Structure 1
Amino acid sequence: MTEHEALQDFLLRMADSDMILAQRLCELTGKAPALEEEMALMNVALDLVGQARNWYEYAAEVKGNGLDADLLAFRRDAHEYRNHLIVEQPNEDYAVTMGRQFFFDVWHYLTLKSLAKAKDERIAGIAAKSLKEATYHLRRSSEWVVRMGDGTEESHRRMQDAVDILWRFTGELTLPDEVDRIMFDMGIGPDPDQLKADWHEMVKNVLTEATLEPGEEDAWMYLGGKRGEHTEHLGFILAEMQFLQRAYPDAKVW
């Protein structure tokens, strides 16, 4: 794999993970447990869509061939998406929604913090802007994990169940592949070993405060999202998200 190809894949991983998680959160419109929570979730989703657009725009420039951000978001099939598997998992119980958000937020915060120092000025600029939002996202999801984990007997059970359900999808966040190592060697991506150590430390600190038990670091994990191998959930997400653009390709607003 060339450096140019690795950069393309990396940009799509950042964009697709933001976009698919935003779509999941938007599914909770009118269904959140409280009005304040619905507003907060939609704000997080809007932040992620904005970040995704920035990554897509850069990815389109790198890929060329007349592509733009909209084509990358709405005209690719599931096997062409490079998002992490965890973001496409269903909302289910609200504890699962917040557990998914928390695991992703820790990775997102640490990755953006590193990317803000990247040698690629475009990536550093996008990351620095996104980091402010990601910091809030992480604080919010961490507080919810602690609130539910160290709350009532029922909330504790639900939050622990959520951790157990989602843990098998967390390995992909910190297990590096060829793209991750190339990006690190280029002075762009985070140090894979440091990212893994920092992610586990931050996650364990929050889960300990929440009186919750994390999974084993060497547990069997679902992998494949970063190379286009997804769960069945992504196809349903894209069918809804891409319907209008595929039904009326190249439509213009007059």
Structure 2
Amino acid sequence: MYLENIVVDALDPRALGSFWEALLGTRRLTDGPEGLETRLHLSPAGGEDGPFLDLCFQPVPEPPREPLRLHLDLLGGSRQEQVVARARDLGARPLDIGQGAVPWVVLGDVEGNPFCVMEEREVYSGTGPIAALPLDSADPARDADFWSRLTGWVATDGVAGASLRHPSGVGPLLELCQEPAPKPGSLADGGKNRMHLDVRLEAGEDADAVAAEILARGGQGLDPDWGELPWRVFTDPSGNEFCVLPASSGD
């Protein structure tokens, strides 16, 4: 398996996807009724043969109302002011989420989703435009082990409770951060995370065996009323939703 997608719920996928595409310098893959998808290549040189992450903006009928448990931290460092200015030119606005006096800058994107532009941190060297993917966790060490198995990412130095990174050493950190409160609600009562991760099976991996391992490691299977789907929906041990996609035809 490997981490493939960052999926974001959007009232207007084209507007939200275009904002992030312009800010991150990604390459558009699709744009249609099912949403907008754009690709971030993780190689520092921008090569298209190495690892990547796809940002997928999918339509939802109502604005999200749950606290954000996964968000994007953008690389700022010595260019923090320029990145903030660029984001604001594209439509981002300052956001107060109770952060107080911190060295990073909190903004809301064009649909109000919080994101941060980070100060200089050595652990973010070479990440590319996304420095980190902070994910709320009830037990960062436990969940780091869970997500490492799912993604193939490995432990790395960081500032969170536990941090993972692509084994090539490029791209953002997946940061397991101590949650301020347990995840509220469920899919059935509108508690779905507005941003989640997708992993994809590789050729030869058995979906049933993977599902059994997810459950054995503390995850849970979900059966949302979304009709017949080619992927399976789960939560990690802290209740964060994710999808397991079938192997692609190119694998």
TM-score where L is the length of structure 2: 0.29
Bigger strand fraction:
2
The higher relative CO (CA closer than 8 Å, separation ≥ 6) is in 1
Bigger helix fraction:
1
TM-score where L is the length of structure 1: 0.29
